Amino acid sequence: MRFRFARRQILLGAAFLLAATRSYSRAEAQFFITVASTTSAEQTGLLGYLLPVFTQKTGIEVYVVAIGVGQALKSGELGECDVLLVHDRSRELEFMRNGFGSVRRELMYDDFVLVGPQDDPAKVDAMRDVVAAFRKIAEAKLPFVSRGDKSGTEAAEHRLWIEAGGRPKPQRDPWYLATGSSMAQTLAVAASMNAYTLTDRGTWLKSNDRRDRKIVVQGDKRLINRYAVILVNPVRCPEVKVEQGMAFIDWLTSREGQDTIASFRINGERVFFPDHVPQ
């Protein structure tokens, strides 16, 4: 228990450092929770848009640690956070079955896109079949950069590779590189290598590495990317702030929270779409 508490304090310390750059005041916050979130929700600016509205309404501060889904779920298992915001349904349901989560709600969705060089050597531009595009890239052995960090994006990419005939391995396939990094960093590496990569649309729109790059495949229903919000189970992790955590979940899935998600834009483009259906 002491080890788990120490880990939680370390994670919270990191969250404090990340939150220090926010422009709104923490002085009036009466309570706080720690959220382990997928990087896309943070790097796109969505959480920076949502959280001030929630804090102003409730007085509850939210400290975010943006990490890959695999790391976020592990943090939840260890009781290092109160709430998870993640996007890998199979692992989320396993997390719930194993008793690490007490409440899970569908929240919203965005989509993945396949991006690549402007000249598109694989000739997959404007295809709507992402699996066929992956297959063409593999057959031509063209550079492809993966996150390789156990994130929800990597999990989605692996599912597509399996449909395409088999997941590449960096040790065997020199054209395939795993960065072990965030989406923004992976996009930068892909740009430097003139390579293809799978990304969420929002992080792509926020990227500074779009010159000579473009979306080559979009619109395939297999590219829909769904997010859920989970309260860590206080029975397994007594440190969890249940009341404040549920206030956050209730607000996100309320009409106000869903409308606030819907109003978020990146360069004028809507990226996230509310997806909560009240039970």
Band of the pLDDT at 22, cuts 50, 70, 90?
very low
Which architecture does CATH list for 111-223? 3-Layer(aba) Sandwich (3.40)
What is the rounded average pLDDT of the residues 127-154? Answer: 96
- DSSP string covering 114-157, please? EEEETT-TT--TTBS-HHHHHHHHHHHT--EEE--SS-HHHHHH
Band of the pLDDT at 110, cuts 50, 70, 90?
very high
Tell me which amino acid residue 119 is.
D
pLDDT score, position 126:
80
What is the length of the chain? Answer: 279
What mean pLDDT, rounded, does the chain reach? 90
Note the pLDDT tens digit of each residue in 34-70: 999 999 999 999 999 999 999 999 999 999 999 999 9
Q: State the fold for domain 2-109+226-274.
A: D-Maltodextrin-Binding Protein; domain 2 (3.40.190)
Structure tokens given for 195: 């390579």
Q: CATH 3.40.190.10 residue ranges in the chain?
A: 2-109+226-274, 111-223
Distance CA 88, CA 92 (A): 6
Band of the pLDDT at 127, cuts 50, 70, 90?
confident
- pTM for the whole thing? 0.87
